[in-house]
Amino acid sequence: MMRIFWGPAAMRGTLAVAMCALIAAAAFSVTGQARQARTIPDGAYTAEQAQRGQQLYKAQCVACHGEKLQGVVGPMLAGEAFLTAWGGRSLAELVDKIQLTMPLQAPNSLTRPQAIDLAAYMLQATSLRAGQDALNEAALKQVMFPAARPAAAAAASSGGVSMAPAANLAQFMRGVTFPNANILFNVQVKDPGAEKPRAPVPFDYLLWGYTQYYGWQAVDQAALALIETTPLFMLPGRRCENGRPVPVNRADYQQFAQDLVNLAKDLYRASQARNQEKFAAMAEQLNDACANCHKVYRDVGTAEGGGLGTDRCRQ
């Protein structure tokens, strides 16, 4: 039997053939997956599912989301705003959201089939046509919302990093603005120059974090965070918690955002003096800056905040 000696050229050729085969296989796989995925207009649910979902909606959801799914204290669940909010995402994500977090006062009380029926009703209310095949667990991840229209998404980009909003305005404020504002308010009741706190036992990441960036350094950072993040209130495409667009084109809303930025700059300068008494005296100005906007635009009794009240994000 003849022995074959593999030289560098032969090895390179063999590797090239192997790579081509892998690339072809990968391309086939991606193409296959793309063919499997369906957009909702292809008919992802049946009329019977939507009818069951409608009855369940009337019993469980109408108080927060409205008779016509238009949004009351909860977000709208039909129409263009609904499609934009879920654009490019799978129906599995919507069904997970329904099953695991709704209704607000009794999360995780719906069965999986009930959550799927509710999703079908939302699709019907959005004028997306039904099909012959029932929406089921196997199909959820393969059925996608249509990609958001560029004009509707209004996503900016910088250096290749997407600036499309992921949170609604309430979520953004609770995650970013609220905790940083509280650090500034806290100067009224606690001297940032006091002794450094010790890490708790048993260990807690949140409390441990307070021992790493504490005192006036934390106050500096909170003021800077408000300066940097408040303009994101104006990010095109962001929506209120009830699903309506944030009123970024209104002059008073723009002024409220600018007032908060300006005050945060003043607070940062005041923090540099390391004088608790003088800084604490400015905290009331921060309260006023927040309240001025909330009196006009804040949703009262929001879906995540609890309680029912007047919906103000209609301006």
Whether residue 131 is found in the same domain as residue 184: no
Q: What is the pLDDT of residues 206-227, one digit of tens each?
A: 899 989 999 999 999 999 999 9
Residue of 98 and 28 predicted with greater confidence: 98
| Confidence at residue 128, expressed as pLDDT on a 0 to 100 scale | 86
**Whose CA is closest to 105, among 307, 243, 241?**
307
Whether residue 203 is found in the same domain as residue 109: no
Average pLDDT on 119-140 reads 91
Count Cβ atoms within 10 A of the Cβ of residue 185 and give its class: 0-12 exposed, 13-18 middle, 19 or more buried.
Answer: middle
| Band (5; pLDDT cuts 50, 70, 90) | very low
Contact predicate 142/36, CB 8 Å = yes
| Confidence at residue 175, expressed as pLDDT on a 0 to 100 scale | 96
Mean pLDDT (the chain) is 81
The two tokens of residue 206 are: 């949140």
Task: Please count the structural domains in the chain.
Answer: 2
Query: Could you tell me if residue 8 is inside a domain?
Result: no
Whether residue 54 is found in the same domain as residue 147: yes
| Band (38; pLDDT cuts 50, 70, 90) | low
Query: Could you tell me if residue 217 is inside a domain?
Result: yes
Query: Could you tell me if residue 3 is inside a domain?
Result: no
Whether residue 59 is found in the same domain as residue 128: yes
Whether residue 131 is found in the same domain as residue 106: yes
**What range defines the domain where residue 218 resides?**
167-297
Average pLDDT on 154-161 reads 54
Whether residue 94 is found in the same domain as residue 188: no
Whether residue 221 is found in the same domain as residue 119: no
64-69 LR contacts (CB < 8 Å, sep 24+): 64/103, 64/104, 64/303, 64/308, 68/125, 69/122, 69/125
Residue of 121 and 156 predicted with greater confidence: 121
Residue type, 199: A
Q: What is the pLDDT of residues 181-210, one digit of tens each?
A: 999 999 999 999 998 888 888 999 989 998
Whether residue 181 is found in the same domain as residue 130: no
The two tokens of residue 75 are: 């977000």
Query: Could you tell me if residue 114 is inside a domain?
Result: yes
The two tokens of residue 256 are: 């409220």
Q: What is the pLDDT of residues 12-33, one digit of tens each?
A: 443 343 334 333 333 333 334 4
CATH number, position 84: 1.10.760.10
The two tokens of residue 295 are: 């009196």
Whether residue 79 is found in the same domain as residue 196: no
For strand 143-144 and strand 38-39, is the pairing parallel, antiparallel, or unpaired?
A: parallel
Q: What is the pLDDT of residues 258-280, one digit of tens each?
A: 999 999 999 999 999 999 999 99
